[in-house]
Amino acid sequence: MKITTIEAFLAPPEWTFVRVETDEGITGWGEAGMSFRARAVREAIHDMREILIGQDPTKIEFHWQVMRKSSFFRGGPVLSSALAAIDIALWDILGKSLGVPVHVLLGGPVRETARAYAWIGGDDLCAISSEELVDETLGLVDQGFTAFKLTPPKTSAIDVPSYGSKLMGHLSALRNSIGPDRDIALDVHGRWSKTMARRLLPILEPLDLIFVEEPILAENLHMVGELTSTTKLPIATGERLFSRWDFLDVVKSGVAVIQPDVALAGGISETRRIAAQAEPYDVVVAPHCPFGPITLAASLQIDFATPNFLIQEQSITFFGDQFLRYLKDPSVFNFKDGSFVQTTAPGLGIEIDESMVLRMAAIGHNHKQPLWWHSDGSYAEF
Ligand SMILES: [Mg+2]
């Protein structure tokens, strides 16, 4: 079998899909993260054609090594996303050619279902009332969700005391409404300074959060040990790290949870290795996945086969039909009692509606990160 074509598509609202075709009629699909620079990622994918066209697609590790190393300058979000998309598509091809799901090729399933959480409260949980927050959450409880993630407001380097009390007020109302048998995660998005994190984490401890994500920025992770050693709240991080080398010091830093993204961190091959790298440090994995259907499918294949999996991010509840329209059979994402049920179809377990991808790619997208500003006009972390 030989690779014949590789084509990347900008699929609205904000995703980058890749299709890898072979001379035996088997087509693999992948997805790249880094949606805020999607056109750069698309060109990086197309730039890799010259090392892959005519090659055997089942030599996944060989191609991974060449794709990562042949630019001399390695890693980073753009190149790692492009590599990830093609790696996912190659695993899809291998699974389809052998007639088995990817999780079988990763050693076979270690679990039958993968628990998932839903986002609530938009980009700022304090922008709505605590009553609205509770209403939104109880609607998702009715859909079966048992875990929820929220994002706190932006803050200055050292903010006024009411920042913490307002945050605690909203989160306490939420905890009281859903009780102690469901989980709340807080995704700080790197909005806090280390100083604010040290002030706020002790205030939040009574809430028994499942994790506090990115309490400080990824580029400041050399300081994360100062937080993990002083709070009992589980600290999570990793969506802005792209390889085993990026995660090497982080898994030793006392964090409880890492969050590699299969569409950003070198695909199924590298995400699987990052999970294994974390296991000896008793660190569990909550795959980052705010992206499209191919990223979720690839993430689930890893979840089913990875012993130190914790919980899966998903965006179906956010995007709805915009997400599901790319699937020939949306019911493959079988969500029951708060978890996705193990898939059985070959490869990634989904069938992409190619005609829909082509139709939507003709529209394309130019998705960009929202720009936030402090009251004095300076840049604020989103
Ligand atoms: Mg996050």
Classified by CATH at the fold level, domain 3-100 comes out as: Enolase-like; domain 1 (3.30.390)
- Region 139-157: mean pLDDT is 97
Those residues with Cβ within 8 angstroms of residue 237's Cβ, 6 or more apart along the chain or in another chain: 213, 214, 218, 221, 224, 250, 255, 257, 258, 259
On average, the pLDDT of the chain sits at 97
Q: Residue 229 has what pLDDT?
A: 95
User: What's the number of CA atoms in the CB half-sphere (13 Å) around residue 220?
Assistant: 16
The CA 137 to ligand 1 mean position distance, Å, reads 19
Measured CA to CA, the distance from residue 296 to residue 15 in angstroms comes to: 12
Phi, psi for 75 (deg, rounded to 5) = 85, -160
Q: Domain 104-347 maps to which CATH number in 3.20.20.140, 3.20.20.120, 3.30.300.30, 3.40.50.150?
A: 3.20.20.120
* Interval 298-341: pLDDT, tens: 999 999 999 999 999 999 999 999 999 999 999 999 999 999 99
Q: Which amino acid is at 86?
A: I
- Residue ranges matching CATH 3.20.20.120 in the chain: 104-347
Measured CA to CA, the distance from residue 240 to residue 78 in angstroms comes to: 11
* Interval 365-378: pLDDT, tens: 999 999 999 999 99
Q: Residue 158 has what pLDDT?
A: 97
Query: Can you give the three-state secondary structure of 21-71, one letter per residue?
Result: EECCCCEEEEEECCHHHHHHHHHHHHHCHHHHCCCCCCCHHHHHHHHHHCC
Percent residues over pLDDT 70 in the chain = 100
Q: Residue 164 has what pLDDT?
A: 97
* Interval 109-130: pLDDT, tens: 999 999 999 999 999 999 999 9
Q: Residue 99 has what pLDDT?
A: 98
Q: Residue 317 has what pLDDT?
A: 95
Determine which one of 189, 222, 365, 374 is catalytic. 189
Q: Residue 93 has what pLDDT?
A: 98
**Residue pointed to by tokens 């996945």:** 289
Tell which residue, 215, 189, 191, 193, has the closest CA to residue 204: 215
Phi, psi for 37 (deg, rounded to 5) = -135, 50
Those residues with Cβ within 8 angstroms of residue 140's Cβ, 6 or more apart along the chain or in another chain: 118, 120, 148, 317
The pairing of beta strand 15-22 with beta strand 3-11 = antiparallel
Q: Residue 379 has what pLDDT?
A: 96
Q: Residue 232 has what pLDDT?
A: 96
* Interval 251-309: pLDDT, tens: 999 999 999 999 999 999 999 999 999 999 999 999 999 999 999 999 999 999 999 99
The CA 105 to ligand 1 mean position distance, Å, reads 29
* Interval 168-225: pLDDT, tens: 999 999 999 999 999 999 999 999 999 999 999 999 999 999 999 999 999 999 999 9
Q: Residue 334 has what pLDDT?
A: 96
374 is catalytic: no
The CA 132 to ligand 1 mean position distance, Å, reads 22
- 162-178 and 130-142 helices, crossing angle to 10°: 30
- Region 80-104: mean pLDDT is 98
pLDDT band at 137 (very low <50, low <70, confident <90, very high): very high
189 is catalytic: yes
- Residue ranges matching CATH 3.30.390.10 in the chain: 3-100
The CA 75 to ligand 1 mean position distance, Å, reads 20
Determine which one of 103, 170, 288, 365 is catalytic. 288
Q: Residue 193 has what pLDDT?
A: 97
Tell which residue, 199, 200, 253, 190, has the closest CA to residue 222: 253
Residue 111 gets the label, from left (phi > 0), alpha (psi -120 to 50) or beta, of beta
- Indicate the Cα dihedral angle 145, 151, 152, 155, nearest 10°: 180
The CA 232 to ligand 1 mean position distance, Å, reads 20
How large is the C-alpha radius of gyration of the chain? 20
- Number of neighbouring beta carbons within 10 Å of residue 162: 9
**Residue pointed to by tokens 């996705």:** 340
